[in-house]
A = this chain, B = another copy of it.
Amino acid sequence: MTTRERVYLYDTTLRDGAQTTGVDFSLEDKRLIAGLLDKLGIDYVEGGYPGANPLDTEFFAARRTERAKFAAFGMTKRAGRSVANDPGVAALLEAKADTICFVAKSWDYQVTVALETSLEENLAGIRESVAAAKAAGREVMLDCEHFFDGYKANRDYALACAKAAYEAGARWVVLCDTNGGTLPEEVAAIVADVARHVPGDHLGIHAHDDTGCAVANSLAAVKAGARQVQGTLNGLGERCGNANLVSLIPTLKLKDGFADRFEIGVDEEALAGITQLSRALDEILNRAPNRHAPYVGASAFATKAGIHASAVLKDPRTYEHVAPESVGNVRQVLVSDQAGRSNLLAGLERVGLHVDRADPRISRLLEAVKEKEAQGYAYEGADASFFLLAKRVLGEVPEFFMVERFSVNVERRYNAIGELVTVAEAIVKVKVGDEILISAAEGNGPVNALDLALRKDLGKYQRFIEGLELVDYKVRIFQGGSDAVTRVLIESGDETGERWCTVGVSANIIDASFQALTDSVVYKLVRSGAGRE
């Protein structure tokens, strides 16, 4: 039995990923994500750039991982300063990090034009910074910035930078395709050459997706001898993003040529959680998930009607390059009743409703779901609404309240002192048992006003919904133009910290919102056991 070689995964979501347009990590976000990465089995978590901004400095006030090495990123010493007097290096040494990852130019043009210093000064900076961090007891690495462009422009100098770091004691020398323009064949050839000067088991690859080849470049580098792969979750990163670890990990674990030759820190159980992890990150960052993402996208294993569908059902291996369960994803065959039934049963399990396969109500529920979906409802992402729909078909949801009427008014007018103001108010009239209750509320918009009015007084059930709050609100309008249908997704939360999503669909955005709001309240009542007294 051949021994597999160890490939190390280095995640830079919290540093390079922070450069993504529209992404800003709070301290809590960073803590959460570091935890997810640790659980996944990532070897290195690059937490940020201490000294560059207060949040990152704060993040490095403690070690934020348990298993993974906690890495701090920063520049080698500036020209004209000694290592001991460089504030950037000082901040790195102060950080509670296991590993320090320095970044330095390795393209001669960059050194002379961008840094405005000499080639030799740059090399000295590399040597001295690496040595200082090693002397302080840290594991050290060097990111060779612009390595591939630098190699093409001046091979000798690029190699000199890499060797300077290695000889000064760096555990890893990472070859960075900073501009993202290098192609896979070039990466393979260049990495193979570098591996003749710095041993492959000390080499890493840091690719960007500017030509759509970041994943392929990373794989090519590993085949050429590199043993560390840098990337981000969901391919986050500035411009077109970094190499997507969520795409790379399943390939390294499942595909011939990699799974048989290399071993990574992610085990099978963690792999089966990777779809969930990818979506959790999108949720944290309020980003729409990429449904076409390799392995984990909602559509990654979805076959539309046509020549494939029946064949997939006969033998999924004929149409799936890997088993969807291995990455925690699900097969979706969007055609036959047979498949619809399987998806439905899977969905019921997922929301905690255990129904016998042969239960005749399954067919009724399937019909109900199809009808709703034809109107524009989408239960993926609205588990609480799906739960309620199912429970209603199963005949098990008490009628807590009935909305007799609601009215929402938005008015823009000049107030008494001549200012233009917009006010939104709502009135909701509900019947709770024998009581008629009518509540009014103002809000910063029509949906907010409606939400507050609805939850203001539900009589005997009011105490069950005290902790309920609207956390997020998403609108999607499709079948554009005059036939537009609005789908509203609402995320709610309560005092236990739990979150759930509900959906509403209508041509009228207020109506759609109200459906989602009502479902959310009913869900909370069901979960609180309100009907059971």
Residues of chain A touching chain B, judged by Cβ–Cβ distance below 8 Å, are: 19-21, 52, 75, 107, 109-110, 113-114, 146, 178-181, 183-186, 209-217, 219-220, 223, 235, 238-241, 244, 247-248, 250-251, 255, 257, 286, 288, 291-295, 297-304, 306-307, 311, 314-315, 318-322, 403-414, 422, 424, 444-447, 470-478, 480-482, 484, 486, 506-511, 514
Contacts and interface: CB of A to CB of B under 8 A. Distances in A.
Contacts of A248: 212
B113 A185 contact: no
A321 B477 CA distance: 37
B404 A299 contact: no
Contacts of A314: 113-114
A336 to B, nearest CB: 16
A379 to B, nearest CB: 15
Given A183-B257, A473-B484, A241 B292 contact: yes
A403 B412 contact: yes
A295 B208 CA distance: 12
A259 to B, nearest CB: 11
B215 A247 contact: no
B405 A508 contact: no
Contacts of A413: 404-407
Contact of A286 (B113, B213, B478): B478
Contacts of A307: 75
Given A213-B219, A410-B511, A444-B507, 9 more contacts: A19-B304, A21-B302, A184-B184, A184-B220, A216-B217, A288-B288, A408-B446, A474-B477, A475-B509
Given A181-B322, A186-B257, A318-B113, A447 B211 contact: no
Contacts of A510: 410, 422, 424, 445-446
10 contacts: A75-B307, A146-B318, A185-B223, A210-B300, A239-B300, A445-B506, A445-B507, A446-B510, A473-B480, A474-B477
A489 to B, nearest CB: 10
A297 B235 CA distance: 14
A257 B404 CA distance: 71
Among A220, A412, A422, A506, max chain B CB count under 10 A is at A412
A300 B209 CA distance: 9
Contacts of A217: 216
A429 B190 CA distance: 70
B211 A255 contact: yes
A509 B291 CA distance: 27
A322 B180 CA distance: 10
Among A184, A318, A410, A445, max chain B CB count under 10 A is at A410
B299 A238 contact: yes
A445 B486 contact: yes
Contacts of A20: 292
A13 B19 CA distance: 32
A86 to B, nearest CB: 15
A110 B307 CA distance: 12
Contact of A247 (B211, B223, B478, B482): B211
B409 A183 contact: no
A104 to B, nearest CB: 12
Contacts of A311: 110, 114
Among A109, A251, A403, max chain B CB count under 10 A is at A251
A532 B292 CA distance: 51
Given A292-B241, A409-B409, A510-B422, A109 B484 contact: no
Contacts of A292: 20-21, 209, 235, 239-241
A223 B107 CA distance: 28
Contacts of A445: 486, 506-511
Given A293-B240, A444-B508, A414 B404 contact: yes
